[in-house]
Amino acid sequence: MDRIPAFVDILINTFTTLITQFIDFVPRIIGAAFIIAVGFGVAKALSILVAKVLARVGFNRIGDRLTEIDFIKRLKTEIKLSEIVAKILYYFVLLIFLMAATETLGVSAITEMVKSLVDFIPRLIAAAIMLQVGVLVADALKGAVVTLCQSFNIASGKLLGMIVFFFFLIITLISALGQAGINTELLESSFNLLIGGVIFAFAIGYGMASRDVMANILSSFYSKNRFYEGQIIRVGDTKGQIIRMDNTSLTLQTGDTVTVIPLQSLQSQNVEVFD
């Protein structure tokens, strides 16, 4: 019979402990809820303010420049950097208040998880800035390559420009992922092997296909000071007056017709000059 009162005492003590812990926990729940509510308000207000300020100072022009890039234009995506920055700031501030709320609750596991997210956001922002700058630099390099190829009358200038663009873009993407704390060793090794094979195959194929063009370009350096427009010359069996000369060929007026002669012919054939 003595066991029944003892069991009743155990139930009463357990129930009393639960009630006490619940009473102690309720203020913490209320405090955490209040902190989260304030965090929502502060994060929303700051995000709206930052978005308006950045839009007024012309920060969206960088996004407009990104949108003009062919690769991004094909994605049909409108980039408004002011809204992106404001949204990131919103979640960053909200996570800070959420971390304070979890500390109030005393749940260390949730606090550590939220803290890791808060620490990750600055690395994510740095990676995003690196990727954005990389895209702009890749597009500038692409334009420079295309312009250079056009100045030397090299075929496939746009193809070379796209190869340079994606090559630099992938390098920037790998660097950005590394900045964000993602292990990229396997990706880097695979990319190096792939790029090495592609460059080797492309160099051989393009070199064989464009050897005549390169020969003409090299011949132009030897010929530009020896021949000029208006001069009468004979190249092989063709005689005429030079009416145009560029980096790969010269054009002769031969009676009623014109003849285009590759510049490498000036090095491989006999040339007579009639002054």
1 pLDDT above the threshold of 50: no
pTM value? Answer: 0.56
More confident residue, 225 or 250: 250
In contact, 251 and 242? CB cutoff 8 Å: yes
252 pLDDT above the threshold of 60: yes
For the chain, what's the residue count? 275
Q: Where are the domains of the chain?
A: 1-106, 126-209, 224-274
30 pLDDT above the threshold of 50: yes
Rg value, the chain, Cα? 36
Contact residues for 247 (Cβ-Cβ < 8 A; gap 6+):
151, 152, 153, 216, 217, 220, 263
Helix (H/G/I), strand (E/B), else coil: 271: strand
Residue 45's pLDDT band, with cuts at 50, 70 and 90, is very high
CB atoms within 10 A of CB 120: 13
Identify the CA nearest to 248 among candidates 229, 226, 264.
Answer: 264
11 pLDDT above the threshold of 80: no
* Model pLDDT, residue 21: 64
CATH topology of domain 224-274: SH3 type barrels. (2.30.30)
Identify the CA nearest to 226 among candidates 239, 240, 198, 245.
Answer: 245
Q: pLDDT, tens digit, for every residue of 118-171?
A: 788 888 878 887 888 888 888 888 888 888 877 776 667 788 888 888 888 888
